[in-house]
Structure 1
Amino acid sequence: MAKGVKIKPIIIQWAIRSSDRELDELSSKFKKINQWISEESELTVSEINKLSNELKIPFGYFFLQEPPKEEIELLKYRTIDSEENNKPSRELIDIIKLMETKQSFMRDTLIEDGFSPLEFVGSANLSIPPTDLADQIKKQLGLEGDWNYKNKDTFNTLLNACSDSGIVIMRNSVVGASTNRKLNINEFRAFVLIDEYAPFVFLNTNDSYRAMIFSLCHEVVHIWLGIDELYNNDYKQDQNYNNKKLEAYCNQVTAELLLPAASVLSNYDREKDIFYNIEKTVKAYNVSSLVVCIRYKNLKLIDNQTFENTYKLLQEKVQENLEIKSKRKTSGSPSFYTMTKFRLGEKFINTVHRKAQEGRILYSEAYELVGARGKTYDKLIDYVEDKK
């Protein structure tokens, strides 16, 4: 008989609450669940592992004496409809923690290597006209004029510009490499973790290509403002905080980055209908149809009624496309090495490996940071170094 490990009932209770699962539902899979939540019980490693997988709670948490304090302050993040969601899912909590760990490593590394804080982090405020801030951001990132106009590689242009300026961008559709823990696009599209040395942007790649371009620009604006979705008390006090006002401002700057007013106005064909113009603008600037529709409204190219009717139809189409994308089965999926490089970025992987070679971090820590061990880690490094 397998030897059991004593687990506190308060841990089981917390795990069930955190997973949003019903006790009745779990009872059919765990015959002793009622005992486990009422008294200290001995569970086998197999039982703990099964419970961990079922509840999506890290295995090690079950051995704690008290529930962990998971005060995830990142309560505001980009959702499909920019709605507030104050109860993040287990997947979002875990992806934030993963990013915080990687950010901490990058911050310590940059300080250790003698880098200075990035001057643009927190350099702006809401008193700057959106057009002026958009110009400042483009100048810092080395983006010229209508940089995305008829640019088929818009996303990579922006990605590389951000990376070269010191912004770390990571992306994924699941938690780590857990394909059974998909990130819900209806919960969040992206988030940013502010740091003066290593600002981090995370993109949910279950989103559409064009929507991710907007999300990345939007989070870059947050970096210039020096705030993430934490919306801490200092910012509320210092900047006459107002959530709707803040998001409206960020959207205005983002729109100016992607759809400069002068350029959009000059390219709008008043002889054609709204859908013709939207499609033309979407293709020309590599932005989503929803963003274009909102921009037209704000520039008074369409009236409110036209906007309401058009936006609703476009929104339904976008949701339909996302559902199709989520169900689509891909053949010949990229290798683990290709996906890891895509998710973490070449710079991050190379930095981790360099620090391990220098003896600044243990290889065990390097393995954790990139999600690969032993020979798999070696092959990953070879792949990244050979595929530049």
Structure 2
Amino acid sequence: MSDEKKQQVLEDSKWLNKDQKNFLNPTLNQLENFAKHFHVPFGFLLLKKIPEQQSIKLAFRTKENVPAKVGLNVRSVIYEMQRKQAWFKEESGYIESKLNFIGSLSGCNDINKVVETLNTLIELHHFKTPRELLNDLRRQIAFSGVLVMQKGGAGLGTNRPLKVEEVRAFTLLDDHAPLIFLNQKDSYTARIFSLVHEFIHILRGTDEFLMGINYDIEEERFINNATGKFFMPDEMFKKKVNEQGIEAAANYFNVPRYAAAIQAKNLNLIKYLDENYCLEDQKSIRSNNSGGNPYNKALSYNDERFTAALFDSERNGNLQPTEAASLLGVSTKMFYQTMDLFDEREAIL
């Protein structure tokens, strides 16, 4: 919620005004409206002591790769993803066994080995647009058994956006159903980089984000360098940079300019990181804010295996439509039309 909106809500809440007769003595309706506007559980407002926020430990990627401040919207999305993950693991019927690659690179300090392992699990194709590459990588990583979700805000609608500065991506580790979340407000190139970055976290079995700042920074740098090396193989990258420059190389490999600049520095192609290279391409993803087919958007948020499992459970009577719609992240009114669109796509494939 913006500062302006917060101020407006506070002004509308007359019981917070010292000049009012009911100062700090709101009615139940006034409290409910206050809780709704600030997305706070109503019961919290009735407690004498502010409840402590539960510590969240997970692999977490922010814009500056610094320890994240988990705001209310981000925390809400984390809980939403945990709920989806738990349902898929425990109730979908799609889980058969543990995934043997989880933590397979634990303790590995050899970047070349990380890249080699990635190449056995992901086939990197060249696409003209980053959107095509993102869709392809998302499909491949999901096929390996990882749930890949994306979203641009908390809850339904667009009034609780996720700021890229707060979260780019995060991972919920699990031996059976690991989950990667991408902030849909981020650029396509940044999401591409984040997706593989988080996949490496899964391979390394690292999700203790809050275990220590020094450890986190070292781990993040290692994974960033491995991710860059995966997307931009040394010799091919050198050739592109020498022929066309860093920005053209970034466009060719569909990676952020800052990632290409760091790779160039690591390969001694440049001595310093020019700040112009570090200005990210944050083109707005307008479809996340307004317009577009709402059913297409709903399907784009969720992993395809998760969506298929959800619809199967509802058809078989194992899941009520209201619960299925809630897990999918749509209103009950939208649920069956979203299901019909999904079935149409599956029939074409």
Partner secondary structure for residue 333 of structure 1: coil
Partner secondary structure for residue 284 of structure 2: helix
- TM-score where L is the length of structure 2: 0.85
Counterpart in the other structure of 1:135: 116
Counterpart in the other structure of 1:351: 309
Partner secondary structure for residue 203 of structure 1: strand
Counterpart in the other structure of 1:11: none
Correspondence for 2:330 among 346, 350, 372: 372
Q: Which amino acid in the other structure matches residue 334 of structure 2?
A: T
Shift of 1:373: 4.5
Q: Which amino acid in the other structure matches residue 276 of structure 2?
A: L
Q: Residues 308-323 of structure 1 correspond to what in structure 2 (within 5 A)?
A: 310=274, 312-316=275-279, 318=280, 321-322=281-282
CA distance in 1, matches of 2:31, 2:114: 52
| Unmatched runs of 5 consecutive residues or more in structure 1 | 1-17
CA distance in 2, matches of 1:290, 1:341: 31
Shift of 1:68: 5.0
CA offsets, 1:50-101, max 9 Å, x none?
312432324565567875553142476222221223x311111111111111
- TM-score where L is the length of structure 1: 0.77
The aligned length equals: 342
Counterpart in the other structure of 2:345: 387
Q: Residues 74-153 of structure 1 correspond to what in structure 2 (within 5 A)?
A: 74=57, 77-85=60-68, 87-109=69-91, 112-113=93-94, 115-141=96-122, 143=123, 147-150=124-127, 152=129, 153=132
Indicate if the aligned counterparts of 1:21 and 1:55 stay in contact, CA closer than 8 A. Answer: no
Counterpart in the other structure of 1:282: 250
1:252 and 2:236 matched: no
1:44 and 2:28 matched: yes
- The CA RMSD over aligned residues, in Å, is 3.3
Partner secondary structure for residue 167 of structure 2: coil
Correspondence for 1:209 among 188, 192, 197: 188
Larger Rg: 1
Counterpart in the other structure of 1:190: 169
1:171 and 2:150 matched: yes
Q: Which amino acid in the other structure matches residue 378 of structure 1?
A: Y
Counterpart in the other structure of 1:6: none
Indicate if the aligned counterparts of 1:78 and 1:191 stay in contact, CA closer than 8 A. Answer: yes
Partner secondary structure for residue 40 of structure 2: coil
CA distance in 2, matches of 1:77, 1:290: 19
1:31 and 2:14 matched: yes
Partner secondary structure for residue 367 of structure 1: helix
Partner secondary structure for residue 339 of structure 1: helix
Counterpart in the other structure of 1:262: 235
> For structure 1, which segment, 242-251 or 213-222, has the greater mean C-alpha deviation from structure 2 after superposition?
242-251
> For structure 1, which segment, 63-72 or 375-384, has the greater mean C-alpha deviation from structure 2 after superposition?
63-72
Counterpart in the other structure of 2:134: 155
The percentage of aligned residue pairs carrying the same residue is: 24
Indicate if the aligned counterparts of 1:148 and 1:285 stay in contact, CA closer than 8 A. Answer: no
Counterpart in the other structure of 2:215: 242
CA distance in 1, matches of 2:300, 2:127: 24
Q: Return closer, same or farther for 1:300/1:126 CA change in 2, 3 Å cut-off.
A: farther
CA distance in 2, matches of 1:243, 1:25: 39
Partner secondary structure for residue 100 of structure 1: helix
CA distance in 2, matches of 1:226, 1:50: 42
Shift of 1:120: 0.7
CA offsets, 1:112-162, max 9 Å, x none?
455101111111123341111112122123x1xxx2445542111211101
CA distance in 2, matches of 1:22, 1:383: 36
